[in-house]
Amino acid sequence: MADVRPETMERITTKELADKFIEEQVAAVREQVGEDGKVLLALSGGVDSSVVAALLIKAIGDRLTCVHVNHGLLRKGEPEQVVKVFREELGANLIYVDAVDRFLDQLAGVDEPETKRKIIGKVFIDVFAEEASKLEGIGFLGQGTIYPDILESDGVKAHHNVGGLPEDLQFELVEPVKLLYKDEVRVVGTALGLPDSMVYRQPFPGPGLGVRCTGAITRDRLEALREADAIVREEIGKMEQTPWQYFAVIPDIQSTGIKDGKRYMGWPVIVRAINTVDAVTAESVELPWDMLCRIRDRIIETVPGVNRVMWDISNKPTSTIEWE
């Protein structure tokens, strides 16, 4: 498949168009990998890799091997959802790698944001390559490349996403959605039977919670972030019109709190909700006060180590969407 979307290509907006696309791609994949070709795919649980996985399962069944690396920086419930949807519901041949200790050990004490990103990227490649080397007869690598990745090969994803793959893995690429825009990938995902919670997931950085647990990541602070983030997403997710992106951040500072008449030091949780068109500029979303209070109460009551809740009202520019 060429890397240029033909001008005549119809925008996929309906189930019928998605079904037609799926049928064509199933045939194209079968043609590309042949009768017994085997494909390997790094399945993060993000929209793009999930849609590619579901499409490849349809095309070649268990000749697809998916590898889901849990780096410990995923949101609450995500690794479980990947296993449930792909292994249990779609019958995928899925290797789940619990690499949490390996990532967190490598990240221990590292506070420089770009170094953190690099470590996460490198450990990811090492873990993936190790899994690949245990498998036999793999000739192809599935990838969730989408059209904006090709258009903006210099964009966010290209330079700091996790999942950049080792060049010495000599596989031929299988990229069935590379001419699609994000909205089309979602329509195709729904047509393939993926749940809305996966297809309409909000954007999430490859290095995951690693860029929202600022400074050197510790396990207790990371766990506090994961719990607080789940609360923030649940509450803001109830809005009629949900913001484009909304999440929690936990900085590596402490401030004084008071509990049972005693002073103690705790972390703040920062609530961030933004609207944007293209993530190049962004505006902070005005959240209802009662919602903020509910978020505050739930976090303070249930998340150990947190004694303060803040709301980040900064726009981009001057602030980036993420904190690191």
Q: Interface with ligand XMP by CB under 6 A: which residues?
A: 156-157, 160-161, 203, 205-207, 211, 245, 279, 316, 320-322
Nearer to ligand XMP by Cβ, of 112 and 220: the residue is 112
Nearer to ligand XMP by Cβ, of 133 and 281: the residue is 281
Residue 7: which residues within 8 A CB-CB, separation 6 or more?
Answer: none
Nearer to ligand XMP by Cβ, of 76 and 160: the residue is 160
Which residue type, as a one-letter code, is found at position 163? G
Residue 305: which residues within 8 A CB-CB, separation 6 or more?
Answer: 220, 221, 224, 266, 267
Q: Are 79 and 44 in contact (CB under 8 A)?
A: no
Q: How far is the CB of 98 from ligand XMP (least distance, A)?
A: 22
Nearer to ligand XMP by Cβ, of 46 and 189: the residue is 46
Return d(Cα 115, Cα 135) in angstroms, integer: 31
Q: How far is the CB of 23 from ligand XMP (least distance, A)?
A: 30
Q: How far is the CB of 61 from ligand XMP (least distance, A)?
A: 29
Q: How far is the CB of 15 from ligand XMP (least distance, A)?
A: 28
DSSP H stretches of helix in the chain: 15-33, 47-60, 78-82, 100-107, 113-134, 147-151, 156-160, 182-191, 196-199, 219-236, 289-302
Structure tokens, 183: 């909205």
Q: How far is the CB of 162 from ligand XMP (least distance, A)?
A: 7
Nearer to ligand XMP by Cβ, of 63 and 160: the residue is 160
